[in-house]
Amino acid sequence: MVHIDADIRIISRIISETVKGIKRTQWMNLVIITTMAAILSIFGCLFRTSLVISSFIEHLGDSMEVSVYLKSGYNAEKAKLEILKTGDVNEIKIIHKEKAWSELKQEMNVPDIKNPLPDTLRLKIKEQKKIESVIHMVKNMKSVENIQYAKDIVEKIIKVGNVTNVATVIVLLILGGLTLSIINNTIHLVIQSRSEEIEIMRMMGIGNWYIRAPYILQGAFYGFCGSLLAIVPLRILESYLFSMTEFFNMGETPNYLNLVITSLMLMGVIVGSLGSYISVRKYLRI
């Protein structure tokens, strides 16, 4: 019990040291937090936009159908089962050639010849990413004569999706590195300005982590405040995106805002404390 009490007191004193340290950093706090907020906003907005693009692509892929024409003499039901086995197809509709032919004859005046239509399967593919592999697989089936789908569009969609993903990752890495180095340098300055005090604490036998922890927490604080501020531009973007998804009639999109805000905060706090941790390890020699 005595030990737990002591530990709690140490933790609360470390926190109050952190608060004191932040107060003493004065106007520099504002500069750092604003910079952090700017970077994190860019990150958040990009991330949010890339999620919209992904779901837009998803939406396009959903409404896309692939028509599979079967060779005559093969069983449509069997072909359907074979394709379903891949697990990547949502729905397969069989259009028997007799039915198609009679419908066609009803709709227009066709000469009375032998039914030239093949049995046809209409596939709905689960994810647009899977389109290519499904098409490849279906093409190679013995029973399949031909396939028809909007090839260009599918390819473009896939490309846009990939580019967005790669760009998001690259930007994320760059911004992460930038944030890391800003925090790292700030804490370096703070440590430098208090080197005498740190020296005295060392001589008095104060524990290494008791000296270091406030600086690490200070970095985490900057990341946290930066991410809080970054929510504002994110909210503005959200209202634009909302009207856009309305316009494209994309229906209910998942609540991405919470996901983006959570990752923003996590990134802020993690990168903030990591940046100051590196600084403390490098410049606060104990």
Partner 1 sequence: MIRFRNVIKVYGTQRALDCVNLHIKVGEFVFLTGTSGAGKSTIMRLTYREEKPTRGQVVIGGVDVAKLPHNKVPYLRRRMGIVFQDFKLLSKQNVFDNVAFVIRALGMSDREINRRVSGALKVVRLYDRLDAFPSQLSGGEQQRVGIARAIVNGPPLLIADEPTGNLDPQTSMEIMEILEQINNRGTTVLLATHDKEMVNHFKKRVITVEDGKVIRDIYEGTYE
Q: Which residues contribute to the site for partner 1 (CB under 8 A)?
A: 5-7, 9-10, 13, 24, 196-197, 199-208, 210, 286
CA-CA-CA-CA torsion sign (219, 225, 231, 234): negative
Question: Which residue's CB is nearer to partner 1, number 72 or number 208?
Answer: 208
- Residue 15 CB, shortest distance to partner 1, in Å, is 13
CB of 203 to partner 1, least distance (A): 5
Question: Which helix or strand (DSSP H or E) is residue 72 part of?
Answer: none
Q: How close are the terminal C-alpha atoms of the chain, in Å?
A: 30
Name residue, tokens 């005090």: 197
- The nearest distance, CB 16 to partner 1, in angstroms, is 9
Of 34, 29, 27, 23, residue with least CA distance to 226: 34
Measured from the CB atom, the residue of 59 and 202 that comes closer to partner 1 is 202
Nearer to partner 1, 129 or 202 (CB): 202
Specify whether the backbone of 111 is left (phi greater than 0), alpha (psi in -120 to 50) or beta.
Answer: beta
Considering the complex, state which of residue 156 and residue 285 has its C-beta at the smaller distance from partner 1: 285
To partner 1, the closest distance from the beta carbon of 202 in angstroms equals 8
Nearer to partner 1, 13 or 159 (CB): 13
Q: Count of alpha carbons within 13 Å of 117, Cβ hemisphere only?
A: 16
> Residues 178, 39: contact at Cβ < 8 Å?
yes
- Rounded to 5 degrees, φ, ψ at 126 are -60, -55
CB of 212 to partner 1, least distance (A): 12
In terms of CB distance, is 210 or 248 closer to partner 1?
A: 210
CB of 5 to partner 1, least distance (A): 7
Tokens coding 238: 């959200």
Q: Which is nearest to 135 in space by CA: 91, 57, 61, 125?
A: 125
